Structure 1
Amino acid sequence: MQGQGHAQPVQRPPHDAVLVLLRVVFVTMAVCSAGFLAWAMLLRLAVVTRRSVDFGLLVAVAAADVLSIVLLGTEPGDEVHTAGGYVGITLLFGTLLLGVVYYLVADVRHFQRQREAYRAQAPAYGYPPAAAPYATGTTGQGTRPPIPAPPQPPIPAPPQRPAPVRIDQVRAELDELSDYLRKHDGHREGDHEGGR
């Protein structure tokens, strides 16, 4: 059974000024073309996020732009007079408005998430980087290897002193022994002298 392996590193997001410039360029391009190039900003979004929802919206906006061009192209003259022309203009400006709002919201959210993921994987100053999960081979779930604790300085042991209780006990036993021997020796000497 295979584990999930190492997590892919998250790329550093572009600088905020670059992102704002790109957003302004794509929105301006869509507005200045009266909505005919609204698909361009959704193409950029779909390429950046790689989400199927964004690719689906790109296709829908492109189809709405083509349909509005066809409806406006069937209008006789330069002005809009028929229901088809009004539907074409409404479709064109509606997709422009909704496309701009969706593009800005989705693009900002995407790069906020990318920035947060990048910050989460970057190590804090002075701390070791977070260990990436690795394959265990049995459970397939990632774990972190243990981080060894820094070595602690040795604690000096207190100096060894002889136990005073033992010394006192030995001293008391010696005193008893010497008293006993004095008494014993004193009786013998008295008996010995009295026997002379």
Structure 2
Amino acid sequence: MQGQGHAQPVQRPPHDAVLVLLRVVFVTMAVCSAGFLAWAMLLRLAVVTRRSVDFGLLVAVAAADVLSIVLLGTEPGDEVHTAGGYVGITLLFGTLLLGVVYYLVADVRHFQRQREAYRAQAQAPAYGYPPAAAPYATGTTGQGTQPPIPAPPQPPIPAPPQRPAPVRIDQVRAELDELSDYLRKHDGHREGDHEGGR
């Protein structure tokens, strides 16, 4: 039987300056490459968030970049003259614009959620230990300092409700009872045969 293990601890998010620097670097790289490296920022996002949506978007952007390169490569000269070339350049810049917006929004949201989860984890009492002692309030009067006065007690936190035993346990008990009855009957027949054989 397995219990529900402990929740994984939330890692401390990187400092805001580091996150801003990384965002600037990846967006600049995508823009300076005219969109040909737009997949790099989405690769970073997918690795950080580990969401299947982000990995799917990474594949879509990489495919759009490859398609736009193929369409632009079929142009006969240095300038865009054909419909395929216009489609390729539109696809390239459209992917760049949408990729940058999605990357920035998703990255900011991910690290905001991680920061909130880290704060909540840091404020929660450790499992099995009572919450920290109530702080003391001090006051002063005209004659001097009063001794520390305990702060009013906090209302008790209700214990989580006990979950009823799972139905699976009852089913296993019933099966074990049936098995033990069967074995008793089977052993009884054997002993009778053994004694009759003597």
User: TM-score by structure 2 length?
Assistant: 0.62
Q: Which has the higher contact order (CA 8 A, sep 6+)?
A: 1
- Using the TM superposition, give the Cα deviation of residue 5 of structure 1 relative to its aligned residue in structure 2, in angstroms: 1.0
- Using the TM superposition, give the Cα deviation of residue 145 of structure 1 relative to its aligned residue in structure 2, in angstroms: 34
1:115-166 superposed Cα distances (whole Å, 9 cap, x missing partner)? 0000055669999669999999999999999999999999999999999999
After alignment, is 170-179 or 157-166 more displaced? 170-179
Q: Which protein has the bigger strand share? A: 2
What's the Cα RMSD here?
A: 27.5
1:51-107 superposed Cα distances (whole Å, 9 cap, x missing partner)? 000000000000000000000000011000000000000000000000000000000
After alignment, is 15-24 or 123-132 more displaced? 123-132
Q: Name the SS for the 1:156 alignment partner.
A: coil
Larger Rg: 1
Work out the number of aligned pairs and report it.
Answer: 196
In 2: Cα distance, 1:185 partner to 1:50 partner: 58
Aligned to 1:114: 114
Q: 1:192 to 1:89 in 2, by over 3 A?
A: closer
- Using the TM superposition, give the Cα deviation of residue 3 of structure 1 relative to its aligned residue in structure 2, in angstroms: 2.7
5+ residue gaps, structure 1: none
- Using the TM superposition, give the Cα deviation of residue 4 of structure 1 relative to its aligned residue in structure 2, in angstroms: 1.9
In 2: Cα distance, 1:127 partner to 1:72 partner: 65
Residues 5, 133 of structure 1: 8 Å contact kept:
no
Aligned to 2:197: 195
Residues 2, 135 of structure 1: 8 Å contact kept:
no
Q: Name the SS for the 2:149 alignment partner.
A: coil
* Runs of 4+ off more than 3 Å: 120-196
After alignment, is 49-58 or 168-177 more displaced? 168-177
Identical residues among aligned pairs (%): 99
After alignment, is 112-121 or 170-179 more displaced? 170-179
Residues 13, 111 of structure 1: 8 Å contact kept:
yes
Q: 1:15 to 1:44 in 2, by over 3 A?
A: same
